[in-house]
Amino acid sequence: MARVVGIDLGTTYCAVAVADRAGTPSIVRNREGENITPSVVMFQGDTVVVGSQAKRSAATAPDHVVQFAKRYMGESNPIYHSESGTPYRPEEISALLLKRLKEDAELMLGEPVEQAVITVPAYFDDVRRKATQDAGRIAGLEVLRIVNEPTAAALAYGLDQSSADDGGEDRADGADGDGGAGIGTVLVYDLGGGTFDVTVMRVENGDYTVIATDGDRNLGGFDWDGAMMNHLNGAFMASGGPDLNEDNVLQAELRDKAEIAKRTLSNAPQAVVMFSVGGRHEQIRVTREKYEEITAELLDRTRILTEGVLEEARLGWDDIDRILLVGGSTRMPMVPKLIQRLSGREPERGIAQDEVVALGAALVALDASVRAEEAQEKRKYVGSGASVESSPGDGLARLTKGRVRSIKDVTSQSLGMVTTDLDNHDHQFNTVIIPHNTPVPAKKSDIFVTLYDRQRRFRVQVTEGDDEDLAYVKTVGESTIEIPQHPKGAPFEVVYSYDVDGIIHVEVKDGTTGKWLGEFELERPGNLSQTELSEFSDRVARVPTL
């Protein structure tokens, strides 16, 4: 069986995991012997340094170091230019990270790693999911699945809890205590280095069914670091020091010290930060209370999103059986304190927050490899092209002794179409076709009509967002096709499909003739073209990574 790895491609740290044939996931350490790898890339001429060494150099060589690439995924502008002037897009920086993770996994496992399941924030949209897939391909990986981080985390938590519940004995009878049957309704609060997700799911008899999810792709530990940076810089300037943000090296040092202070305050009531700049020496003392005060607005944003998901799921805190904290930023004491205040009980932090997502991804990777293996075996008997794959989760159910039988996620965004008013062609609005939190894979359609007699073209602009006003939604892709020339008002059925990876597919049917006009090839301005994908793949393959 080909080895498939699970990868948590994080904003600040990455992790790789594999699951054995017994269904037990484990972290694959990197070449430095670390369980997690900093998501930092440093350029040294023709060589790229990835991980801890690059992170240590961030304060001394900030102009050659790239961090937080995940925050820019799906954006077409370069986020770095090399000394020779070569532009690097977020997908390419992420691919360099993935290439290093792939090489480390091959070194530790002693075999080639060519396939992976990669996790993304639940709130990532179509463009960012496609960008993540592209990053994997550029790195030389076949990306079998894109999985939402909270869902992956719940899988790993569920198995961990099941082992404790059943005393380590293997059970597969589906009864309470068999390892997963009695988990109930779970809320996953996932606060990572750059993103926040909150997901409510039902876990029963090994079936993991997401009910509702929401999040903010620009809310995470990075923002808590930013608040600390502003506070420290303000205090230093108030004492007569210069503005540390006006110099790249000083700003990088400020960020590094702010992160250290944040981590210190997770374990101690106060932190002391020292600055020595331009002959000015200052010690700035920050208490945990002060830090919680200056970041209260950030924490409150997570509260609003969490309560919104509960409301959308039509649940109250009393309906939640387990609350799981995921992501390194949940180590800040203010996070469990908030959850305890809201829910009235302690949340769970049983598994290392930085590793749990990768462990869950490894379980999905195991399932993918088992189903592919079974399909290959069956094709020997039923012939090529037959529909022989197992249902999603079949392999997991067997290999995890029934603890995980199926995984059912939901759409993180509402998907719609730009529509023109029949009576006023200057008025355009958004029509939702697949609502937010629809179970995936999803397939829904709506009927639209032509605006003119003998209209020759039909344009589909795919939107993400709930609002009818186009100013408050995002157009993620579009395409135009030739259509038969019918009288004005001829109906056309537009069918949206949202696959398990969260990627959009569009088909159009002529309502007059009943003929399908085929699937659209969406033009996604934020994603790479096939030419760019090939070019970047060649370039990344040639770059030595250390």
For the chain, give the longest Cα–Cα distance: 81
Residue 167 backbone class (left: φ over 0; alpha: ψ -120 to 50; beta: rest): left
Strands 47-50 and 65-67, how do they pair?
A: unpaired
Provide the token pair at 260.
């250290």
Assign 3-class secondary structure to 3-52: CEEEEEECCCEEEEEEECCCCCEEECCCCCCCCCEECEEEEECCEEEECH
Q: Are residues 122 and 213 in contact, defined by beta-carbon separation less than 8 angstroms?
A: yes
Nearby residues of 321 by Cβ (< 8 Å), 6 or more positions away: 183, 184, 185, 186
- In angstroms, rounded to a whole number, what is the distance separating the alpha carbons of residues 203 and 185? 6
Contact 220, 253 (CB under 8 A): no
Helix axes 221-238, 296-312, angle to 10 degrees: 160
| 237, two tokens | 């300037």
In angstroms, rounded to a whole number, what is the distance separating the alpha carbons of residues 538 and 413? 33
* DSSP assignment letter at 441: S
Which residues are paired to 324 by β-bridges? 188, 348
CA distance linking residue 442 with residue 415, whole number of Å: 11
**Active-site annotation, residues:** 8, 70, 149, 190
